[in-house]
Amino acid sequence: MTLLQADPVAPVPGHGEQDGPVPHVRVAVVGSGFSGLGAAIRLKRDGIEDFVVLERAGDVGGTWRDNTYPGCACDVPSQLYSFSFALNPGWTRSFSPQPEIQEYLRRCVREHGLGPYLRFDQELLEAAWDGERRHWRLRTSGGAWTAQVLILGTGPLSEPSVPSIPGLERFRGTVFHSAQWNHDHDLAGERVAVVGTGASAIQFVPHLQHAAARLHLFQRTPPWILPRVDRSITGAERWLFRHLPGAQRIARLGVYWSRESSVVGFTREPRLMKLVERLARRHLRRQVPDPELRRRLTPSYTIGCKRILLSNDYYRAVSRPNVELVTDGIAEVREHSIVTRDGAEREVDTIILGTGFHVTDSPTMRRVRGRDGVSLAESWRLGMSAYLGTSIAGFPNLFMLVGPNTGLGHNSIVLMIESQLAYISDALRHMAESGATSVEVRPEVQSAFENEVQARMPRTVWSSGGCASWYLDARGNNTTLWPGSTWGYRLRTRRFDPACHVTQGVRAPAGANAA
């Protein structure tokens, strides 16, 4: 059994071991998913050509490159799952499948001329701030770089989480995570165990049900599931969007406000979620006739407290005779079986882990070191925190995309990314115009923002809904989601405020703390 797991990376004193001078760029972007490619496009639009995009794999796409499990698709409407400055008239369905999303990102590379800026097979192993030279020293699997500004676009769904299950390493069958799908392994006729019933599992379980002789589905907490209102986008619609882009913008605006209107139930009045819960209960009743199975599939928390999932075939698959829903916890894994806490033993040939990602404890946090050599992990030992989810005290010239408290429960994360890009763009403009060599958010500004965000959390469904989720960190704080509207966040990030930052440089603006 082999599983990809990230090992801690020790600090290095120098740039690396490559021969010759270390290349320097004004901006280094890490990652080539929506965040990284969006940053690259914005840099080019702003006239900045001195940048590089470092990608650990051999292709762009981020999570949409890595997650290739059967049935993988977006649960955000296609019209919202693209950049506003690069609409895609070619979506074939109202909820885009994974291959189309990755191809969209590849098209963004081609149409915006990003190829020369991409560097593949360059996994970030360490980034260290050099206070004397006021730039970042980067060590990657492909060599070393220095950069004045570092933009992290690694995303929260990039490092698969492998649970600590006693005996898992002893299993003699096949084991893989859903984000590292083993397409060479034939599941036909096998006894398959699926651990986890989250967003990925509800998409691939219906496909496994058809192939496997026996499917054991290990559920810790049942999710709320709504019908997936999916349909084909007609050729006439695609023709209209292609030749009249304004028509697609109108369609996008309609979808946006229909999603945005639900923010009140998530962030201010969780009681409104009861209306949505009725739809979910009706969906469950219609698809699961067995009352006992239906009982075990019914959540006990308010809908929205954990991620709301969309599926038209998951409940039907779980109801099939060759599927067993197991709600007793796993006690241990043996060489050819899984034993639950009630003592029952089930022989299995393959174990598939649908157990999510390292969201609040990503390995990247250990690899990025700011002033005084302090890592993000050390800085965030009491919980993730960043001003506007983007700038972090103690880490000059560092900007994070989809950082702390920028996730959403109701709308498209691409909207938040674009807001962050506007903030970063204005910060780079400020640095260029003022001659600043570095900017760093003031600790008191970041602390005030964090206190504001956390003060709003008790009213949200994520805190009052009665569940435990990956939205929460070890202290029980929601450091993942934004407790407000996307348009409210857009207003907060439309301008970079020098007064909120420590600025170092030869022409620091009046009122800033210049060195």
Predicted local confidence at residue 293, as pLDDT? 98
Residues of the chain short of pLDDT 50, as ranges, are: 1-17, 506, 508-515
Dihedral sign, CA of 369, 375, 376, 377?
Answer: positive
List the one residue out of 5, 34, 41, 14 whose CA is nearest residue 361.
5
Q: 194: which strand partners?
A: 217, 352
Q: How far is CA 511 from CA 261, 398, 499, in A?
A: 40, 22, 7
Q: How far is CA 482 from CA 253, 307, 377, in A?
A: 21, 14, 21
Cβ(89)–Cβ(96) below 8 Å: no
Cβ(116)–Cβ(43) below 8 Å: no
Q: How far is CA 333 from CA 87, 239, 349, in A?
A: 47, 53, 12
Q: Which helix (H) or strand (E) holds 268?
A: none
Structure tokens at 161: 């989480």
Task: Work out the number of other CB atoms within 10 angstroms of the CB of residue 373.
Answer: 10
**Phi and psi (nearest 5°) for 277?**
-60, -35
**Phi and psi (nearest 5°) for 46?**
-85, 5
**Who contacts 140 (Cβ-Cβ below 8 Å, separation ≥6)?**
16, 54, 122, 123, 124, 125
> What domains sit in the chain, N to C, each tagged with a CATH number?
24-159+360-505 (3.50.50.60), 175-229+257-353 (3.50.50.60)
Predicted local confidence at residue 360, as pLDDT? 72
Side chain identity at residue 129, one-letter code:
W
**Phi and psi (nearest 5°) for 458?**
-60, -25
Cβ(405)–Cβ(391) below 8 Å: no
Predicted local confidence at residue 160, as pLDDT? 86
**Phi and psi (nearest 5°) for 200?**
-75, -45
Predicted local confidence at residue 512, as pLDDT? 45
Structure tokens at 394: 């103690």
List the one residue out of 501, 486, 498, 500 whose CA is nearest residue 418.
486
pTM of the model: 0.92
Q: Which helix (H) or strand (E) holds 441?
A: strand 436-441
Predicted local confidence at residue 18, as pLDDT? 53
pLDDT digits (tens, 9 = 90+) for 309-353: 999 999 999 999 999 999 999 999 999 999 999 999 999 999 999
Predicted local confidence at residue 51, as pLDDT? 98
Listed in sequence order, the DSSP H helices in 342-460 are 364-367, 376-379, 413-434, 443-456
Side chain identity at residue 338, one-letter code:
I
